[in-house]
Amino acid sequence: MKSCGQYKNLIYLSLVSAGALLVEGYHPGVEDDAVYLSAIQRRIHPNLYPHDFQFFTLQMQASVFDRLMAGWVRLTRIPVSVSAMLFQCLAAFFLLWACHALARRCFSTPAGQWAGVALVGTLFTMPVAGTALYIFDQHLHPRSIATALILWAVVLVLDRRIVLAGVLLAAAVVLHPIMGVFGLSYCAILSIALLRARTPAEQPTAATVAMGIAPTWIFEGPSPAWKAALNTRDYYFIARWAWYEWLGAVAPIFILWLIARYARRSNRSAMSMLAGAATVFATFQLAVACIVLLTPALVRITPMQPMRYLHLVYIFMALLGGGLIGEKLLRDHLWRWVAFFLPLALGMFIAQRSLFAGTEHIELPGVASHNPWLRAFAWVRGNTPVDAYFALDPYYMQLPGEDYHSFRALAQRSELADAIKDAAVATQVPDLAPLWQEQTQAVTGWRHFQKQDFLRLRERFRVDWVIVQGPGVAGLDCPYKNEAVAVCRLQ
- The angle, 0 to 180 degrees and rounded to 10, between the axes of the packed helices 80-106 and 142-158 is 30
- Quick check: 213 pLDDT over 60? no
| pLDDT of amino acid 209 | 36
Q: What average pLDDT does this structure show over 310-330?
A: 97
d(CA 229, CA 322): 39
- Quick check: 259 pLDDT over 80? yes
Q: What average pLDDT does this structure show over 331-343?
A: 95
Cα 99–Cα 102–Cα 104 angle in degrees, nearest 5:
110
- Quick check: 212 pLDDT over 70? no
| pLDDT of amino acid 202 | 41
- Quick check: 170 pLDDT over 80? yes
- Quick check: 204 pLDDT over 60? no
| pLDDT of amino acid 169 | 97
Q: What average pLDDT does this structure show over 40-48?
A: 96
Show me where the domains of the chain are located.
2-30+79-202+210-332, 372-489
477: helix, coil or strand? strand
Strands 389-391, 485-489: pairing is: unpaired
d(CA 62, CA 180): 12
pLDDT band at 199 (very low <50, low <70, confident <90, very high): low
| pLDDT of amino acid 227 | 86
- Quick check: 417 pLDDT over 90? yes
Least confident range from 42-46, 231-235, 407-411: namely: 231-235
Most confident option among 71-85, 185-199, 212-226: 71-85
| pLDDT of amino acid 200 | 46
Residue type, 424: A
DSSP per-residue codes, 10-24: HHHHHHHHHHHHHHH
Nearest to 193 by CA among 308, 103, 258, 278: 278
Residue type, 61: Q
Categorise residue 263: left if φ over 0, alpha if ψ from -120 to 50, beta otherwise. Answer: alpha
| pLDDT of amino acid 214 | 44
| pLDDT of amino acid 211 | 33
* Average pLDDT score over the chain: 91
| pLDDT of amino acid 226 | 86
Least confident range from 214-223, 225-234, 285-294: namely: 214-223
pLDDT band at 195 (very low <50, low <70, confident <90, very high): confident
| pLDDT of amino acid 58 | 87
Q: pLDDT tens across 420-470, in order?
A: 999 999 998 888 999 999 999 999 999 999 999 999 999 999 999 999 998
Q: pLDDT tens across 66-82, in order?
A: 999 999 999 999 999 99
DSSP per-residue codes, 404-436: TB-HHHHH-SEEPPPSSHHHHHHHHSGGGHHHH
Q: pLDDT tens across 357-399, in order?
A: 999 999 999 999 999 999 999 999 999 999 999 999 999 999 9
d(CA 59, CA 400): 29
Q: pLDDT tens across 73-130, in order?
A: 999 999 999 999 999 999 999 999 999 999 999 999 999 999 999 999 999 999 999 9
Categorise residue 446: left if φ over 0, alpha if ψ from -120 to 50, beta otherwise. Answer: alpha
Nearest to 406 by CA among 391, 421, 390, 426: 421
The CB density around residue 118, as the number of other CB atoms within 10 Å, is 28
pLDDT band at 3 (very low <50, low <70, confident <90, very high): low
